[in-house]
Structure 1
Amino acid sequence: MAGGSLDLPVVDLASPDLKSAVDAVRKACVESGFFYVTNHGIQDGLLEALFAESKKFFELPLEEKMLLQRNSAHRGYTAPYAEKLDASSEFQGDLKESFYIGAVGDVDMPNDPNQWPPKERFPSWKDTMKLYHAAALAAGKRILSLIALSLDLEAEFFQNIGAVDCSSEVIRLLHYPGEVNESDNGNYGASAHSDYGMITLLATDGTPGLQICREKDRHPQLWEDVRHVDG
């Protein structure tokens, strides 16, 4: 069941009013589980570069992308239909394709599980992913501090217990098809799911399609559109 457009709260990560930011995060986490963030420190130019690299890769022929098929460390390319986030779906799999990238070290690591497109064709790929990973991780830590404070814990609680020390943070580039085959009518780019991990930072290029369900146990479920907000 589809609803209207949902107005999510906006949390300013640079707000001098810490109490208001903490209260806003707590309210958002309790009521919807989603919120926008502004002043997150990720520069517009970096986001544009990230989306440009992503677009360039997903435009490659499938056989070339499959050369970087996701490995046992869950790094690399996943083709359309390879994942089905909603096990109850009647379809073979979701329509999306994706590319997983883990932490990127300062030097080439001999046992780096990441897979990289050929440098001669993607000369800026690795540096772009490294910069974005660092910026997104910094923003994520600031959000975790607000969440900790909203739970009446110390701001650095999650960092102090080692919750962000295992380098499990992953960039996941996603591409959703525009037009679909008739046999896929009713299928989704990403079927209904809850994300794993502590938090997800979701950056979009403004293309609509994201929906959330605030009450998963409600029948029928109500899915509401989430509009894109610049910044």
Structure 2
Amino acid sequence: MEMENKPEEEALTIKASLTCIDLENSDLHQSAALLKQACLDSGFFYVINHGIREELKDEAFEQSKKFFGLPMEEKMKVLRNEKYRGYSPLYDQLLDPINQVRGDCKEGFTIGNEGPKYGPHLDKPFYSPNIWPNPDVLPGWRETMEEYYQEALRVCRSIARIMALALDLDAGYFDTPEMLGNPIADMILFHYEGISDPSHGIYACGAHCDFGMLSLLATDGVMGLQICKNKDVKPQKWEYVPSIKGAYIVNLGDLLERWSNGLFKSTLHRVLGNGQARYSIPLFVKPSPECVIECLPTCQSENNLPKYPAIKCSTFLSQHYKAAHAHHKKT
């Protein structure tokens, strides 16, 4: 039994070494080369000089802690709706049903793009009015989160311009209305607690790959996030991703792996709890529902034909949401 656990225990002491992308670097092609290598190596990297005020980020975390510190009856007043906006209690999400004995030991609160007020996108399943806590209970909470959301989305669009260059496309390739002009973008406030025990299937957040385009993650500095750079190698090697003050962690999702014809990989990751409260705020970005995801021409060659058929973004995401919902129903 000790021999079986040894690879896991050894992996917990390792820290990942990730590339750092400076968003103020005037040499975009240099940044693109660094980003491309990061996407080939691990699918995770840091960004610095992003322009988000540290005071705004600190206020978002402070307001997040205030919400999760409310009595349960108050939090349940904004329980997630059918479009998953609002509060998700502990154990509500099960990301790794094969290895987890119960849902993630985390609670969350989702805020998303409300979409156009009029027009064909109004009834799409990926846009929805947000649910907000009572302003009398949490004054200024909504205003802080809305400002932080827009700033995080701005940074993601900046990263997408460098990503386009890394894929040998024009910098503005992803700027079109059907791509990131009106994206599906969900920001989730997370509060993790408890002690994880992988040998018994207990995790703060189970192992998974994000299924969007890219994710922008802010953490409170408490260690817990781990990545597995090669999910097909057994036993899996897990590495901690340290937080760097002033930097954001970025990772790729399944959708971008498909878009890049498998050139860039969506990386397996998870969170382990050590008994210390941990907070994070990721923004998960996908293109608009009508965007057609097909292998980029710059990722094709005579020896590297398209591995995936073209698919509408809404169809791709619906398949993933349905699978996640099926796992939830089993718990």
Q: Same fold (TM over 0.5)?
A: yes
Paired residue secondary structure (2:158):
helix
In structure 2, distance between residues paired with 1:10 and 1:59? 34
- What are the equivalent positions in structure 2 for 1:94-109 lying under 5 Å apart? 94-103=104-113
Partner of 2:185: 169
Q: Which structure: greater strand fraction?
A: 2
Q: Match of 1:88?
A: 98
Q: Which moved more, 1:157-166 or 1:48-57?
A: 157-166
Distance 2:155 2:23 in 1: 8
Q: Quick one: which of 150, 155, 173 aligns to 2:171?
A: 155
Cα distance in 2 for partners of 1:45, 1:178 equals: 28
| Greater Cα shift, 7-16 or 84-93 | 84-93
1:192 maps to a residue whose letter is A
Alpha-carbon deviation of 1:133? Answer: 1.0
Answer whether contact 2:226 2:240 (CA < 8 A) is retained: yes
CA–CA separation in structure 2 for the residues paired with 1:91 and 1:64 = 28
> Is the alpha carbon distance of 1:160 and 1:166 closer, same or farther for their aligned partners in structure 2, counting shifts above 3 Å?
closer
CA contact (8 A) 1:86 1:191 kept: yes
* 1:73 matches 2:83: yes
Could you tell me which residue of structure 2 aligns to residue 229 of structure 1? 244
Q: Deviations 1:65-107 (Å, cap 9, x if unpaired)?
A: 11111101210001111111112124121111100001369x9
Equivalents in 2 of 1:145, 1:179: separation in Å? 39
The gaps in structure 1 that reach 5 residues or longer are none
Cα distance in 2, alignment partners of residues 74 and 148 from structure 1: 30
Letter in 2 for 1:208: M
The answer as to whether partners of 1:103 and 1:130 remain within 8 angstroms in 2 is no
- 1:27 lines up with 2:54 in the alignment: no
Alpha-carbon RMSD: 2.1
- For residues 151-173 of structure 1, what are the alpha-carbon distances to aligned partners after superposition, in whole Å with 9 as ceiling and x for unaligned? 11011111126211334111110
Which residue pairs with 1:187 in the alignment? 202
- AA aligned to 2:64 is S
Match of 1:123 in 2: 139
Larger RCO (CA within 8 A; separation ≥ 6): 1
Kept in 2: contact 1:82–1:94 (CA 8 A): yes
1:104·1:130 contact (CA, 8 Å) conserved in 2?
no
8 Å Cα contact 2:20-2:48 kept in structure 1:
yes
Judge conservation of contact 1:73–1:113 (CA < 8 Å) in 2: no
Q: What is the DSSP-based 3-state SS (H/G/I as helix, E as strand, rest coil) of the residue aligned with 1:35?
A: strand
User: Is contact 1:9-1:28 (8 Å) kept?
Assistant: yes
Q: Percent identity?
A: 43
Instruction: State how far apart, in whole Å, the 2-side matches of 1:66 and 1:161 are.
Output: 36
1:186 Cα deviation from its structure 2 partner: 4.8
| Letter of the 1:61 counterpart | P
Of residues 112-121 and 73-82 in structure 1, the stretch that sits farther from structure 2 once superposed is: 112-121
Cα deviation, residue 64, structure 1: 1.8
Number of equivalenced pairs: 225
The alignment partner of 2:24 has SS state of coil
Q: Given the alignment of the two structures, is residue 141 of structure 1 paired with residue 151 of structure 2, yes or no?
A: no
Aligned-partner SS, 1:200: strand
Task: String of CA shifts for 1:108-148, please: whole Å, max 9, x gaps.
Answer: xxx96211000012111111111111111110001001010
Q: Give the superposition deviation at 1:174.
A: 0.4
Alpha carbons of structure 1 residues 71 and 125: separation in structure 2 relative to 1, 3 Å: same
Task: State the SS of the aligned residue for 2:207.
Answer: coil
Structure 2: how far apart are the matches of 1:72 and 1:227?
A: 35
List aligned pairs for 1:1-80, cutoff 5 A: 1=8, 2-3=11-12, 4-80=14-90
Partner SS, residue 88 of structure 1: coil
Q: Distance in 2 between matches of 1:157 and 1:190?
A: 34
